[in-house]
Amino acid sequence: MEIESLFPEIKEIKNIDLLNKVAKSLEKAIQQGGWSTQDLHKIPFTLLIPDLVNEDLTVKISIIDHIRAVTQMCLATYERYEMLGLGDKLNRDELIAGGLLHDIGKFIEYEKDETGHIIQTAEGKYIRHPAMGLELVYEYDLPLIVRQAIVFHSKEGDKIPRLKEVEIIHRCDFLCFAPIKQIFEENK
């Protein structure tokens, strides 16, 4: 599987060790979820917006689209911080890695049913993708920022202090969710 073609933003990570860990994490998640490259574009980025999936099961915004958009938004935010003279206060590589891996658990939280629809797994209903994702990448000894981005980018992190980079990932993730949900609800 060519992770760099699915997620070209990975090439922005300068630390080769971190880049390799991110690539291995994504490969493992996709393999463990049983997804083919073609299937990846059929996974909606959320199951909370039913209208993301057309009757023919094509997806308007896939998990790949979402992960890339969040990561690109994180990069753009980093560039603004650089313009403010604060770029050196953020870890750019770990921000990118966290953006790429924040929803990694969805590759194992979701599955395809016998009709081809993407549904939440039985386990996913009780554990959710943040915890599943952290469990999935445990063996790679990822930096704290990246691990926190995986497990606390979503509502699970609302009660703890997020690290600066994780706060950016969290907000970019919700900018790439809440307004989209509103747009689809308005079009009903």
State yes or no: pLDDT of 187 exceeds 90: no
- For helices 92-101 and 63-83, give the axis angle rounded to 10 degrees: 160
State yes or no: pLDDT of 33 exceeds 70: yes
Q: Where are the domains of the chain?
A: 3-186
Q: What's the pLDDT score for residue 157?
A: 83
Instruction: Determine the average pLDDT of the residues in 135-161.
Output: 94
Q: The pTM is what?
A: 0.96
Q: What's the pLDDT score for residue 68?
A: 98
Give which of 65, 52, 188 is closest to 117, Cα–Cα. 52
Element (H, E) at 47: none
Q: pLDDT for 59-118, tens place per residue?
A: 999 999 999 999 999 999 999 999 999 999 999 999 999 999 999 999 999 999 999 999
Contact at 8 Å (CB) between 30 and 11?
Answer: no
Instruction: Tell which phi-psi region holds residue 115, choosing left (phi > 0), alpha (psi between -120 and 50) or beta.
Output: alpha
Output the average pLDDT for the chain.
Answer: 96
Look up the CATH architecture of domain 3-186: Orthogonal Bundle (1.10)
State yes or no: pLDDT of 155 exceeds 90: no
State yes or no: pLDDT of 29 exceeds 70: yes
Q: What's the pLDDT score for residue 1?
A: 58
- Provide the 3-class DSSP secondary structure of residue 59: strand
Instruction: Determine the average pLDDT of the residues in 138-144.
Output: 97
Name every residue whose Cβ is closer than 8 Å to that of residue 62 and which is 6 or more positions away in sequence: 40, 41, 42, 43, 44, 45
